[in-house]
Structure 1
């Protein structure tokens, strides 16, 4: 895998999320997301699945779409906080808290800005449910994983929670959710476990 492969992966991910945002309804967008992610995992050179695992790959385990798990939420003020995450291969990832969102029936999650070249919003989640134990991502705009929003609000849809690449291959480095992104409520939505 080359760096140009990773670039192409990011471009395709951004295009996939653009198609999701343009879908006529969230459930249709979710179907596009599932099919697009499965295709990338099965066929792309930058897939976090090792080539020998791709041959037997039949799709990521994803819960059925539940419209009750989608919300457009305000980004509320929160005291500034810096969180530096040592990732090994990627060095230290610097996060700056820009606010919080409140998700119905889940709780409050910190919204972070990746304080590095290019920046981007980052909204991870760790819960005791059947997802990847290290946590999942809801938004990661550096990689194009963005469901939209406007006027200080973000679309946060738990149906789109996904495990980072490091859940599938330890060669990848991923920042895991800081304490303000850990909840006690199981979230049975999105990608449920690494295959």
Structure 2
């Protein structure tokens, strides 16, 4: 029994370290002159993004149902324009005693296996960016891991000059997901 508990603790510790490393790398990108979405004045004063504490409760194994024939859609952007994406499938999962479903997309022309998940939840506008957040995940057959600890804000949350996909109505979750990136507090 002791080995089982040690293994469980070690796995959680390793997971938390991996999430922290992911976040440190993102902060380094935001300090970068060439890769940061922050305007120069904010980038110079940038001290790091704010996050919820990592929790394995929000690393969710979901059922993935791929679209047999991915349909193109015109995804609304924060600028009022539309960009082509393909609906690649749906992920269904249990959280807080309810079943939730998210539609997963891939930008037209993308070659990565990673799918794009724009979503909103009940933290938006209170603790997280009001326009929603994003998640990326790679399907593993009929399963996909939705790690909300890696949920992130769109670049337009930091700089209105960016055009960002708006989460579609079917990806508006009626549950709080206190995981991942919090709202960015600008310091002028």
> What TM bracket, shorter-length normalisation?
0.7 to 0.9
Q: What's the counterpart of residue 103 of structure 2?
A: 110
Question: Residue deviations 1:33-76, cap 9 Å, x none?
Answer: 11111111122422111111122211101111001110232212
Are residue 121 (structure 1) and residue 115 (structure 2) matched? yes
CA distance in 2, matches of 1:77, 1:151: 9
Return 5+ residue gaps in structure 1 as ranges: 1-23, 140-145
How big is the shift at 1:26? 2.4
Larger Rg: 2
With normalisation by structure 1, the TM-score equals 0.74
Q: Any idea what SS the aligned residue of 1:112 has?
A: strand
With normalisation by structure 2, the TM-score equals 0.76
Q: Any idea what SS the aligned residue of 2:23 has?
A: helix
Q: What's the counterpart of residue 133 of structure 2?
A: 136
Structure whose residues are more often strand by fraction: 2
How big is the shift at 1:91? 5.4
Of the three residues 40, 53, 61, the one matched with 1:72 is: 61
Asked whether the 8 Å contact 1:101–1:109 carries over to 2, the reply is yes
Question: Residue deviations 1:84-115, cap 9 Å, x none?
Answer: 12437795312232221123216211112323
Superposition pairs of residues 49-68 of structure 1, within 5 angstroms: 49-68=38-57
CA distance in 1, matches of 2:54, 2:65: 27
Change (3 A) 1:117 1:96: closer
Of the three residues 88, 91, 94, the one matched with 1:98 is: 88
RMSD: 2.6
Of the three residues 149, 154, 157, the one matched with 2:144 is: 154
Q: What's the counterpart of residue 9 of structure 2?
A: none
CA distance in 2, matches of 1:112, 1:186: 22
- How many residues end up aligned between the 2 structures? 165
How big is the shift at 1:28? 1.6
CA distance in 1, matches of 2:110, 2:80: 13
Return 5+ residue gaps in structure 2 as ranges: 1-12
